[in-house]
Amino acid sequence: MKESMNVDPQDKLPLRIVIIGGVAGGASAATRARRCNADAEITILEKGPVVSFANCGLPYHLGGEIKERAQLLVATPELFWNRFKIRVRTGHKVTKIDRNAKTVTGRTEAGQEFKVPYDKLILATGSQPVTPEFARLQAENVFQLWTLDDMDRIIEYLKKRPCKKATVIGAGFVGLEVVEQLAQQDIAVTLVEKLPQVLNPLDPEMAKLIELELKKHQVRVIKNVSVEALLSSNGRVTAVKLDSKESIASELVVVGAGVRPRTELATDAGIEVGSTGGVIVNEYGQTADPDVYAVGDMTEVMHGQLGRRIRVPLAGPANRAGRLAGQHAVHGASIEMGAVQGTSIVRVFGLAAGATGINEKQCRLENRDHRAAIIQAPHHASYFPGAKNLTLKLIYEVGTRRVLGAQAIGAEGVDKRLDVIATLLHFGGTVDDLATLDLAYAPPFGSAKDPIHMAAFVAQNDLAFAPELLAYDAELEGYQVVDVRTAAEIEKLPLPGAIHIPVDDFPERWTELDAGKPTVVVCHSAKRAHIAACLLQGKGFANVKNLTGGMSIRELKEDSP
Amino acid sequence: MKESMNVDPQDKLPLRIVIIGGVAGGASAATRARRCNADAEITILEKGPVVSFANCGLPYHLGGEIKERAQLLVATPELFWNRFKIRVRTGHKVTKIDRNAKTVTGRTEAGQEFKVPYDKLILATGSQPVTPEFARLQAENVFQLWTLDDMDRIIEYLKKRPCKKATVIGAGFVGLEVVEQLAQQDIAVTLVEKLPQVLNPLDPEMAKLIELELKKHQVRVIKNVSVEALLSSNGRVTAVKLDSKESIASELVVVGAGVRPRTELATDAGIEVGSTGGVIVNEYGQTADPDVYAVGDMTEVMHGQLGRRIRVPLAGPANRAGRLAGQHAVHGASIEMGAVQGTSIVRVFGLAAGATGINEKQCRLENRDHRAAIIQAPHHASYFPGAKNLTLKLIYEVGTRRVLGAQAIGAEGVDKRLDVIATLLHFGGTVDDLATLDLAYAPPFGSAKDPIHMAAFVAQNDLAFAPELLAYDAELEGYQVVDVRTAAEIEKLPLPGAIHIPVDDFPERWTELDAGKPTVVVCHSAKRAHIAACLLQGKGFANVKNLTGGMSIRELKEDSP
pLDDT bracket for residue B4 (50, 70, 90): very low
Q: Evaluate whether residue A547 is within a structural domain.
A: yes
> Could you tell me whether strands B127-129 and B351-357 are parallel, antiparallel, or unpaired per DSSP bridges?
unpaired
ipTM of the complex: 0.96
Instruction: Measure CB to CB from residue A38 to each of B36, B67, B534 and give the nearest one.
Output: B534
Provide the 10 A C-beta neighbour count for residue A306.
18
The confidence score (pLDDT) of residue B558 equals: 67
Q: Assign residue A94 the CATH number of its domain.
A: 3.50.50.60
What are the residues facing B392 on neighbouring strands?
Answer: B375, B408
Please indicate whether, in this complex, the C-beta atoms of B381 and A319 are within 8 angstroms of each other.
no
- Nearest residue on chain B to A283, judged by CA atoms? B436
Residues B252 and B147 in one domain: yes
The confidence score (pLDDT) of residue A75 equals: 87
Residue A213 pLDDT > 80: yes
Q: Evaluate whether residue B560 is within a structural domain.
A: no
Residue B37 pLDDT > 60: yes
B535 vs chain A: nearest CA distance in angstroms? 5
pTM higher than the cut 0.90 = yes
Range of the domain at A233: 133-257
Residue A9 pLDDT > 90: no
Mean pLDDT in residue range B283-303: 97
Residue finishing a domain among B238, B257, B276: B257
Please indicate whether, in this complex, the C-beta atoms of B67 and A424 are within 8 angstroms of each other.
no
Provide the 10 A C-beta neighbour count for residue B283.
16
pLDDT bracket for residue B24 (50, 70, 90): confident
CA distance A201 to A258: 13
Contacts of A82 (CB under 8 A, 6+ apart): B504, B505, B507
The four Cα atoms A93, A97, A102, A104 give a dihedral, to 10 degrees, of -10
Residues A28 and A119 in one domain: yes
Residues B137 and B248 in one domain: yes
Instruction: Measure CB to CB from residue B441 to each of A82, A316, A433 and give the nearest one.
Output: A316
Return phi, psi of residue B381, to 5°.
-45, 130
Residue of A491, A487, A519, A514 lying closest to A500 (CA atoms): A487
CA distance A519 to A283: 50
The confidence score (pLDDT) of residue A24 equals: 74
The confidence score (pLDDT) of residue B8 equals: 45
HSE toward the beta carbon, residue B211, CA cutoff 13 A: 22
Mean pLDDT in residue range B247-258: 97
Instruction: Measure CB to CB from residue B54 to each of A317, A381, A503 and give the nearest one.
Output: A381
Residue finishing a domain among A192, A225, A257: A257
Residue finishing a domain among A257, A281, A307: A257
Peptide bond connecting A313 to the previous residue in cis, omega within 30 degrees of 0: no
The confidence score (pLDDT) of residue A74 equals: 83
Q: Evaluate whether residue A343 is within a structural domain.
A: no
Mean pLDDT in residue range A488-503: 97
Residue A559 pLDDT > 90: no
Mean pLDDT in residue range B527-544: 97
The four Cα atoms B437, B443, B446, B447 give a dihedral, to 10 degrees, of 60
Residue A45 pLDDT > 90: yes
Percent of chain B with pLDDT over 70: 97
Please indicate whether, in this complex, the C-beta atoms of B5 and A335 are within 8 angstroms of each other.
no
Q: What is the pLDDT of residues B206-223, one digit of tens each?
A: 999 999 999 999 999 999
Please indicate whether, in this complex, the C-beta atoms of B420 and A419 are within 8 angstroms of each other.
yes
Return phi, psi of residue A148, to 5°.
-55, -40
* DSSP classification of residue A13: P
Residues A150 and A178 in one domain: yes
User: What is the residue-averaged pLDDT of chain B?
Assistant: 95
Residues A67 and A174 in one domain: no
Mean pLDDT in residue range A427-448: 97
Residues A412 and A521 in one domain: no
Q: How far apart are the first and last CA of chain A?
A: 66
Instruction: Measure CB to CB from residue A438 to each of B316, B435, B437 and give the nearest one.
Output: B316
Contacts 24+ apart (CB under 8 A), B463-467: B463/B371, B463/B396, B463/B398, B463/B401, B463/B431, B466/A35, B466/A36, B466/B534, B466/B537, B467/B530, B467/B533, B467/B534, B467/B536, B467/B537, B467/B544, B467/B545, B467/B546
Residue B5 pLDDT > 70: no
Q: What is the pLDDT of residues B120-154, one digit of tens each?
A: 999 999 999 999 999 999 999 999 999 999 999 99
Residue B7 pLDDT > 60: no
Residue A311 pLDDT > 70: yes
Contacts of B290 (CB under 8 A, 6+ apart): none
The confidence score (pLDDT) of residue B9 equals: 47
Q: Evaluate whether residue B422 is within a structural domain.
A: yes
Residues A67 and A145 in one domain: no
Residues A269 and A238 in one domain: no
Residues B97 and B171 in one domain: no
Residue A450 pLDDT > 80: yes
Peptide bond connecting B467 to the previous residue in cis, omega within 30 degrees of 0: yes
Q: Assign residue A528 the CATH number of its domain.
A: 3.40.250.10
Q: What is the pLDDT of residues A219-263, one digit of tens each?
A: 999 999 999 999 999 999 999 999 999 999 999 999 999 999 999
- Nearest residue on chain B to A75, judged by CA atoms? B383
- Nearest residue on chain A to B435, judged by CA atoms? A320
What are the residues facing A20 on neighbouring strands?
Answer: A45, A123
Percent of chain A with pLDDT over 90: 96
Pick among B69, B283, B423, B453 to test the A interface (most A CBs inside 10 A)? B423
CA distance B516 to B519: 9
Total tally of structural domains belonging to chain B: 4
Q: Evaluate whether residue B10 is within a structural domain.
A: no
Please indicate whether, in this complex, the C-beta atoms of B507 and A84 are within 8 angstroms of each other.
yes
CA distance A380 to A394: 19
pLDDT bracket for residue B1 (50, 70, 90): very low
Residues A473 and A550 in one domain: yes
The confidence score (pLDDT) of residue A6 equals: 45
Residues A179 and A31 in one domain: no
CA distance B281 to B288: 7
CA distance B420 to B412: 15
Q: Evaluate whether residue B339 is within a structural domain.
A: no
Q: Evaluate whether residue A345 is within a structural domain.
A: no
Residues A226 and A144 in one domain: yes
The confidence score (pLDDT) of residue B559 equals: 58
pLDDT bracket for residue B392 (50, 70, 90): very high
Chain B hits for A32, CB-CB cut-off 8 Å, are none
A34 vs chain B: nearest CA distance in angstroms? 8
Please indicate whether, in this complex, the C-beta atoms of B57 and A432 are within 8 angstroms of each other.
no
The confidence score (pLDDT) of residue A149 equals: 95
The confidence score (pLDDT) of residue B557 equals: 83
Q: Evaluate whether residue B5 is within a structural domain.
A: no
Instruction: Measure CB to CB from residue B35 to each of A54, A85, A534 and give the nearest one.
Output: A534
The confidence score (pLDDT) of residue B132 equals: 96
